[in-house]
């Protein structure tokens, strides 16, 4: 597999066009997580998703890595699926983390990937389920809507007062 600027553009466009499917998984995942954690979580729109796809791919370093993970998962299939279970899980987890960004969002996206993957079923190669779950987990982690990340952390140090 070769990743060129043209490949990154193609994967950007594919990821952006996947908005209806990915946003559906995002909102389903947010609803289930909201119920589990007894909190309200805002739904995500396709426009929000596409704006965030734009932001991820505008960062060339992140974009090339996201494009590579997307391309790998789009083509990944293993006969009888189970022998390939580990590789598609690893790629999905890392895609979600790369989309989300640095810590702690990185870890949250990885955990959310596994949560979303359990109920995500896509026709096609084995990696398809993991690809949709990974994109949903990564983007839902980046996007606003969670009350805890919409307020200033009580652990922030005011360095100007020091």
**pLDDT of 96-140, one tens digit each?**
999 999 888 999 999 999 889 888 777 766 677 889 999 999 999
Q: Which two tokens stand for residue 60?
A: 């060339």
pTM for this entry: 0.90
Query: Chain-centre distance of CA 101, in angstroms?
Result: 10
Asked whether the beta carbons of 130 and 92 are under 8 A apart, the reply is: yes
Alpha-carbon distance of 45 to 2, in angstroms, equals 33
What SS3 class is residue 36? helix
Tell which wins on pLDDT, 127 or 9: 9
Residue 160 makes CB contacts below 8 A (sequence gap 6+) with none
Q: How many Cβ atoms are within 10 Å of 50's Cβ, its own excluded?
A: 18
In this predicted model, what pLDDT tens digit does every residue of 50-96 receive, in sequence order?
999 999 999 999 999 999 999 999 988 777 766 667 788 899 999 99
């Amino acid at each position: 597999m070769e990743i060129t600027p043209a490949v990154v553009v193609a994967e950007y466009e594919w990821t952006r066009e996947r908005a209806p499917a990915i946003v559906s998984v995002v909102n389903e995942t947010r609803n289930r997580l909201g119920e589990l954690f007894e909190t309200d979580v805002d739904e995500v729109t396709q426009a929000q998703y596409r704006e965030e796809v734009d932001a991820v791919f505008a960062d060339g370093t992140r974009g090339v890595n996201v494009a590579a993970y997307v391309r790998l998962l789009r083509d990944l299939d293993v006969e009888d699926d189970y022998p390939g279970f580990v590789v598609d899980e690893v790629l999905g987890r890392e895609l979600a983390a790369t989309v989300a960004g640095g810590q702690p969002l990185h870890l949250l996206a990885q955990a959310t990937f596994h949560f979303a993957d359990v109920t995500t079923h896509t026709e096609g190669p084995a990696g398809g389920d993991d690809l949709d779950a990974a994109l949903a987990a990564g983007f839902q982690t980046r996007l606003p809507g969670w009350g805890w990340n919409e307020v200033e952390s009580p652990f922030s140090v005011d360095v100007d007062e020091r």
